[in-house]
Amino acid sequence: MPTSPASLILSLPDEEATLRLAKQLADCVCGKTEASGTPGGRIHLKGELGAGKTTLVRGLLRAAGVTGRIKSPTYTLLESYNISNLYFHHFDFYRFSDAHEWRDAGFAELFDEHAIVLIEWPEQAGTRLPLPDLDIQLAYAGTGRTARLVASSEKGQRWLTSLTPQRV
């Protein structure tokens, strides 16, 4: 019986490759793959400016069925979407500095187990955030990118299993 992978490194040579990964992750968080379990979960996205965090989140939201404009929450900190019975919260904490803002905006209440929470620059939120199911580190690699995916929960591990190319 093979054990579930705790991490995975993927090469993303162009934007299309990032969008393919986004589609696979959308299926995971929406509970559409056999291994993914119930819908919901948290993904942290790390990496330098321009590494592709927003590109990945936009691709995921599109693949999940968001049809309108998908704005980067760089200035608003949060953009939320509702697709049938699923709630998506896209955070960007790059400009986060005010602890009161966290409390006053009621962010903690959005971390419901059924919600899908996607966070750019989680490092900037200090220790407020719960552990994600999956941590994705994007890095420049020539003209493309690499993605290092690390699972921090059983759910995240199941997602990685569905992303791992099947060997026969």
Cα 6 to its chain centre, rounded Å, is: 16
- Cα dihedral sign for 154, 159, 164, 168? positive
Minimum distance of ligand ATP from residue 165's CB (angstroms): 18
Cross-sheet strand order for the sheet of 78-83: 7-12, 144-151, 134-141, 41-46, 116-120, 86-92, 78-83
Per CB under 6 A, 53 contacts ligand ATP:
yes
Between residue 106 and residue 135, which ones bind ligand ATP under the rule CB under 6 A? 120
Q: At CA 154, angle to CA 113 and CA 149, rounded to 5?
A: 95
49 binds, among Mg ion, ligand ATP, none (CB under 5 to 8 A by kind): ligand ATP
Element holding 166 (H helix, E strand): none
Closer of 51 and 115 to ligand ATP (Cβ): 51
Q: Could you say which of 8, 10, 18, 40 contacts ligand ATP (CB under 6 A)? A: 18
Cα gap 63→66, rounded to integer Å: 7
92 to 111: interface string for Mg ion, x by CB under 5 A: --------------------
Q: Are 164 and 30 in contact (CB under 8 A)?
A: no
28 to 67: interface string for Mg ion, x by CB under 5 A: -------------------------xx-------------
Minimum distance of ligand ATP from residue 4's CB (angstroms): 26
Cα gap 110→16, rounded to integer Å: 30
Q: Enumerate binding residues for ligand ATP (CB under 6 A).
A: 12, 14-15, 17-18, 47, 49-55, 120, 144-145
> Which parts of this chain interact with Mg ion (CB under 5 A)?
53-54, 120
